[in-house]
Amino acid sequence: MLRLVGYVPLWLLVALALVLHDHTPGISLRDSGRRGLLVFGCPALAGIAANILKLVLRRERPYVTDGVHVFRSWFDQPFSTAQLGLPSGETAVAFAAGAVLARLFPEARILWYVLAAGCGLTRVANGAHFMSDVVLAAFVGYAVAVAAWRRSPLDRTPEGRALTGRTAAPDRP
């Protein structure tokens, strides 16, 4: 179950549920879909960022190298992320979703982060990733979510500022 938290299609379904929940007749889908867009977009962007970092960092998974940290040559499959593990894509997705949901539903903040951490720990427990893969991925997912939140219209509304504890609108053009 915890591994599913790192599965992007799950967040597409959750986003769809939020859009359907938020939509009211007479309000544009654009306005009612903002929370859903964040809930799907952040995990998707975090997954993309993790895969780009895999191509750059090129560390292989522990089960491929018998637990030894091995970095793949730039000339060996330069555009393939197969068997590369740094950072963990599932964990990046899980932490991006957790960070956005923690801002949208702060009362359940601990739950979202526990689910995300559980996803990362299951990846380490089954030997698919080193702990450092998961830690970097958590940072990537969180950073993507915070950056997206700050650029979203929700951060500029009184409700959005109340969720993050900010009292004044940021100075932006």
| 8 falls within a domain | yes
Whole-number pLDDT of residue 3: 93
Number of domains observed in the structure of the chain: 1
Cβ 122 vs Cβ 2: under 8 Å: yes
Q: Which residues, other chains included, contact 114 with Cβ-Cβ below 8 Å and sequence gap of 6+?
A: none
| 79 falls within a domain | yes
pLDDT category of residue 153 using cuts at 50, 70 and 90: confident
Q: Which residues, other chains included, contact 113 with Cβ-Cβ below 8 Å and sequence gap of 6+?
A: 98, 102
Question: Measured between alpha carbons, how far is 72 from 78 in angstroms, rounded to an integer?
Answer: 9
| 172 falls within a domain | no
pLDDT category of residue 158 using cuts at 50, 70 and 90: low
Q: What is the pLDDT of residues 100-121, one digit of tens each?
A: 999 999 999 999 999 999 999 9
pLDDT category of residue 65 using cuts at 50, 70 and 90: very high
| 170 falls within a domain | no
Residue 50 has pLDDT above 70, yes or no: yes
| 33 falls within a domain | yes
Residue 157 has pLDDT above 70, yes or no: no
| 171 falls within a domain | no
Q: Which domain holds residue 137?
A: 2-164
Q: Among the listed ranges 12-21, 45-54, 88-97, 147-156, which one has the minimum average pLDDT value?
A: 147-156
Tokens of 96: 């991006």
Mean pLDDT of 42-55: 98
SS3 59: strand
Whole-number pLDDT of residue 30: 66
Amino acid, single-letter form, for residue 155 = D
Predicted model pTM = 0.86
| 136 falls within a domain | yes
